[in-house]
Chains A and B, each alone.
Chain A
């Protein structure tokens, strides 16, 4: 009888080509890779210089997402020469190495971590690596996804494997029932605030508990997506009927008998009873409030009803210095109510929160209202298919009527590699994943929150508890 295993161990065991030492290193087989135009070029150049072929071209899906413009009318022209060169080299590489590409004009184009699940390219039980840290998103489907650098992309293209060291395991059990206006974004923000920006470094997180199972598949993706902001190198949720229902309609999901066979196997993808985790954390969400960040690290977050914290109250010197530096950058004063923080921009987008359910949340808040006069508000859908669906459902018209810009898909102002860049001093309520210094533009200030919270802030012009807002409506 085998000893009980965690879901993580099952994934690693089933993908181990061979162990490489007795310190946990294995040669790990990777089922799928998603590639983008900005982290892949040097990997392809390395392949060319060494005269190597791509091991399994069909295992990689290439999507243009990081550098393309998101202006409301789709164009194939990149905003700058660097981006144009990256996109044209990407096209050349995909053509020469036989990799399928969704270019900027493709009707399936979008942010890689929105597109890949949407296409059914990612399935339960898979191990997936990609040159983007938010590859953890795929844990919501019962796959194991993790981000890699460019050298590893090249290794993966050449061999379909990675030299991999087993992680420790952390189970986060989430109990309770979410209140109205509180979302999965608030769960993951609360967790990061609780365990810190490196609280899960060296770990793969498995999320479990009734509050996770209650969530939709898209809401679960938000949690796995942002697990990397706590340092996790992978995040998991055991796939259930919701996941199977989500996938069954996707273009690349297996069909007929193959589907039945796959689902039967996927039902075993859960941690065995009695499996031991290296660490356990629990979170109760009954009293959870909508969260916002006040600082420049994702763990610098607090409920929206709170105040800007005072560094003087922090006993640890390094943390205290970090807080002070963050407040100086953010232009905030200790003790000030967060609801007094006035914004100049509202951004709804990113692989964290730009799926159709996120846009429906936003529409519920802004229907029949107007964006505050001093706020520039943008919505960048997670994919072109999401954009089309939002138009069919009438959401786009609600956004336009409220004064939002309704844009084309891409990573956009989440990391501001294209022309969607904030100016120094701009302050943005953002549904994205990182509030780092300069992330959305040099000198720009980012407050992370759920899409519904961004919507509320866009309407009032300052950080706002969406629950009070919903009562007004």
Chain B
């Protein structure tokens, strides 16, 4: 997994509420057995016109935000289906972190597992960030995970919270499975007791 330390780039505002994973990655892109080609599917119905060309109204098609490293999103982003394809698609177009007031649970975990930082801020903070980055000239921000802060082009610095466990894993780009399997003996002991106490399992 790609480690996340300090990342700079433009931040695109996409503030509609309840953006679900069907909108992020529509069904026709879910038919693979690998992770390939999901950059094309990301926000497909919003990014592309019926003709197949890019929709000029969509934020990621506008020059200041076309290479965005961050999305600043509305409440309950990523709700609905568990499809991890949504996060794979975000990663494939270069999104490294999301900033919003609330994320759906499964989506939030999927971000973590793919090295995409999902930052929760307050409504007032989000409003401030969105105001600054919505102007092309001040769209660039910097996210510093070790210091847990977002720096905006207007000079303001916004601190954010993150669980230390998640932070370490993102900073080091840890392989979660490898880490867990270091406890294989402990799992085996637990399992053996658990199954003997509940023999119908």
Report which A residues bind B (CB closer than 8 A).
14-15, 17-18, 20-21, 23, 25, 27, 29, 31, 38-39, 41-42, 45, 50, 52, 55-56, 67, 80, 82-83, 85-86, 89, 123, 125-126, 131-133, 147-152, 154-155, 158-161, 163, 165, 197-198, 201-202, 231, 233, 254, 258-259, 261-262, 265, 297, 318-319, 321-322, 325, 415-417, 434, 436-439, 442
Interface presence of B5 (CB below 8 A): no
Contact of A50 among B23, B163, B164, B177 (CB under 8 A): B177
- CA of A449 to CA of B187, assembled, Å: 44
Is A201 touching B76 in the complex (CB atoms < 8 A)? yes
* Stretch in B6-14, B57-65, B107-115 with 4+ CB within 8 Å of A: B107-115
B187 touches A160 (CB 8 A): yes
User: How distant is A160 from chain B, measured CB to nearest CB, in Å?
Assistant: 7
- The answer to whether B183 touches A42, judged by C-beta atoms less than 8 angstroms apart, is no
The answer to the question of B196 belonging to the interface, with a C-beta cut-off of 8 Å to chain A, is no
Cβ-defined contact, B163 with A437, below 8 A: no
Interface residues on B, range: 35 or more
For window 96-115 of B, CB contacts with A under 8 Å fall at 102-106, 109-110, 113-114
Residue of B23, B31, B75 contacting most chain A CB atoms (<10 Å): B31
Q: How far is the CA of A459 from the CA of B74 in the complex (A)?
A: 40
> A154 vs B106: C-alpha distance in the bound complex, in angstroms?
15
Does A154 contact B82, Cβ atoms closer than 8 Å? no
In the complex, the chain B residue whose C-beta lies closest to that of A90 is B33
16 additional A-B residue pairs with CB within 8 Å, beyond A39-B83, A42-B35: A18-B183, A18-B190, A25-B165, A29-B191, A56-B191, A86-B31, A133-B106, A147-B82, A148-B82, A198-B76, A231-B104, A261-B199, A321-B16, A416-B27, A436-B23, A437-B45
Check if A159 sits within 8 Å of B177, measured CB to CB.
Answer: yes
Give the chain A neighbours of B165 by CB distance below 8 A.
Answer: 20-21, 23, 25, 163
- CB neighbours (8 Å) of A45 from chain B are 33-34
Residues of chain B having any CB pair with chain A under 8 Å: 15-18, 20, 22-23, 26-27, 30-35, 45, 74-76, 79-84, 87, 102-106, 109-110, 113-114, 163-165, 176-177, 180-181, 183-184, 186-187, 190-191, 194, 198-201
B20's contact among A15, A55, A154, A436, by CB below 8 Å, is which? A436
- Which of chain A's residues have a CB closer than 8 A to the CB of B79? 197-198, 231
Q: Is the CB of A198 within 8 A of B35?
A: no
Closest to A18 in B: B186
Q: Lowest 4 A-B CB distances belong to which pairs?
A: A82-B31, A151-B113, A198-B76, A149-B84
Chain B residues with CB below 8 A from A321, complex form:
16
A42-B34 in contact (CB<8A): yes
**Chain A residue contacts of B105, Cβ below 8 A:** 201-202, 231, 233
Q: Which residues of A contact B22 (CB under 8 A)?
A: 415, 434, 436-439
A123 touches B33 (CB 8 A): no
A182 to B155, CA, bound (A): 56
